[in-house]
Amino acid sequence: MKDDSLDEKLNILAGLGADLRNRDFLLTWEHSLEEIRSVLLAAKCLRELYEAGRSIRVFDTGLAVSIFRDQSTRTRFSFASAAAALGLTPTDLDEAKSQIAHGETVRETAVMISFLAEAVGIRDDIYLGEGNRDMRAMAAALQEGYERGVISRRPAVINLQCDIDHPTQTLADLLHLERHCGGLDGLRGRKFVVSWAYSPSYGKPLSVPQGLIGLLTRFGMDVTLAYPEGYGLLPEVVELAAKQAGASVGAFRVTHDMAEAFDGAEVVYPKSWAPMEVMRRRTELLRKEDRAGLAALEKACLEENFRHEAWHCDEALMKRTAGGSALYMHCLPADITGVSCPQGEVSREVFERYRLETYRQASWKPYVIAALIFLTRLPDPVGSLKRLGEAGRTRIL
């Protein structure tokens, strides 16, 4: 696919007229299609400039604060590299080493970390029913601090994954799909399958499959959600996906047969997640610090997972896809049979064939995060991108 030039991208971006300045980015479906397209375009512009050796530093100083309440490799380093590329200093708040460990409230923490901050990125996906809610509490505290004149600039809160959605991942996925399908219009009617897959681990969040069905159904795709009985997602997100599919003249359906779901699929995304009720129970036990209860829940969940060990993306399953060559996608790290575990989400052969493609998929995430910071902080993002292109400043002096 021939990509538009930087000038063409900027003209399209200007024509969209989207305004994300001084706003947070917490759920993709809270934003218009024009705003989503603006994020994609800005990410592509920043990537083009950066890979051409141009500087994309638009800040002379300032912090980009990250708060990770779960383990992370890709998102953690994507946030840090995006912030640094824009000229901000990335800093990670270790809550165990902060006064949060001594009872400091969200309101206090939000303001104290934000005096010279431009963005606050949060990953809070462990507690079902609480992660996105807590991000909004952080945003409300920042808004109050700004309106009362305590902080001079109100940082943007960016969802780096919560219990409901994983916007930076799914937007990166969308950019990968756009490139693969020859443009956003090329997504229309394409059969996309997000399927549960067996994993020998427990407690994986619901946010990736929910984020995928909550985003891709807006672009006219034929989306199938597959999972064993009992592994359903949040009903409100599933209902939203069905409604959006109707509005975009796409399709959305749910099946409990992985093989049937793969029939004729053009893109497959086999990914494990925990049953919704398990995540709810886990949240209660974590809050109570009930170690015995958590151990018993994990044992029961792993036993239930094992009952569905046949939900495994292998060569036989991939042969059922369109032409036997559907695009395989994963947010990584995948549970790879014979590599990272005895039996997992995907066979060694399938993953190895698509390994570099999954790396290319992941490579969009730093630019998505950079685009979100760029669009939410700068008064004239189109003009700023144009000036970066004209300035010719190189990254390496």
Closest CA to 195 of 252, 270, 133: 270
What average pLDDT does range 251-276 have in this prediction?
97
Q: Which residues have CB under 8 Å from 221's CB, separation 6+?
A: 187, 188, 189, 190, 191, 192, 250, 251
The per-residue pLDDT for range 54-73, each reduced to its tens digit, is: 999 999 999 999 999 999 99
359 alpha-carbon distance from chain centroid = 15
User: What's the mean pLDDT in 137-154?
Assistant: 95
pLDDT range class, residue 131, cuts 50, 70, 90: very high
CATH of the structural domain 169-362, one choice from 3.40.50.1370, 3.40.47.10, 3.30.2320.50, 3.30.230.80: 3.40.50.1370
Instruction: Return the pLDDT at 99.
Output: 67
pLDDT surpassing 60 at residue 127: yes
- Predicted confidence at residue 1, as pLDDT, reads 46
Q: What is the pLDDT of residue 100?
A: 64
Mean pLDDT of 85-102: 83
Q: 6-165+365-391 and 169-362 share one CATH topology?
A: yes
- For the chain, give the mean pLDDT: 95
C-alpha to C-alpha distance for 175 and 40, rounded to whole angstroms: 7
CA distance 131 to 122: 9
Handedness of CA 338, 340, 341, 346 (dihedral sign): negative
Give the range among 1-15, 26-40, 358-372 with minimum mean pLDDT.
1-15
Q: d(Cα 290, Cα 178) in Å, to the nearest integer?
A: 45
Amino acid in the structure at residue 180: H
* pLDDT of 2 higher than 60: no
As a whole number of Å, the end-to-end CA separation of the chain is 33
Structure tokens at 159: 């969802």
| CATH class of residue range 6-165+365-391 | alpha beta
At 392 the pLDDT is 79
Q: Average pLDDT for residues 191-212, to the nearest whole number?
A: 96
Tell which wins on pLDDT, 25 or 392. Answer: 25
| Average pLDDT score over residue span 335-353 | 97
pLDDT at 101: 60
Over residues 318-341, the mean pLDDT reads 97
Q: What is the mean pLDDT of residues 312-327?
A: 98
Q: How many helices (H) and strands (E) does the chain have?
A: 15, 9
- Eight-class DSSP state of 3: P
Tell me the residue ranges of DSSP E strands in 105-186. 117-124, 156-162
DSSP 313-343: B-HHHHTTSGGG-PEE--SS---BBTTTBSS
Tokens standing for residue 303 = 């036993």
E-only strand ranges, the chain: 63-68, 89-92, 117-124, 156-162, 191-195, 222-226, 251-255, 267-270, 327-328
DSSP assignment of 180-218: HHTSGGGGTT-EEEEE----S-----SHHHHHHHHHHGG
Higher pLDDT, 325 or 95: 325
Quote the tokens at residue 150.
């305590």
Percentage of residues in the chain having pLDDT higher than 70: 98
- pLDDT tens per residue, range 148-189: 999 999 999 999 999 999 999 999 999 999 999 999 999 999
CB distance 40 to 219 below 8 Å: no
Boundaries of every domain in the chain: 6-165+365-391, 169-362
Region for 103 from its dihedrals, namely left if φ exceeds 0, alpha if ψ lies in -120 to 50, beta otherwise: left
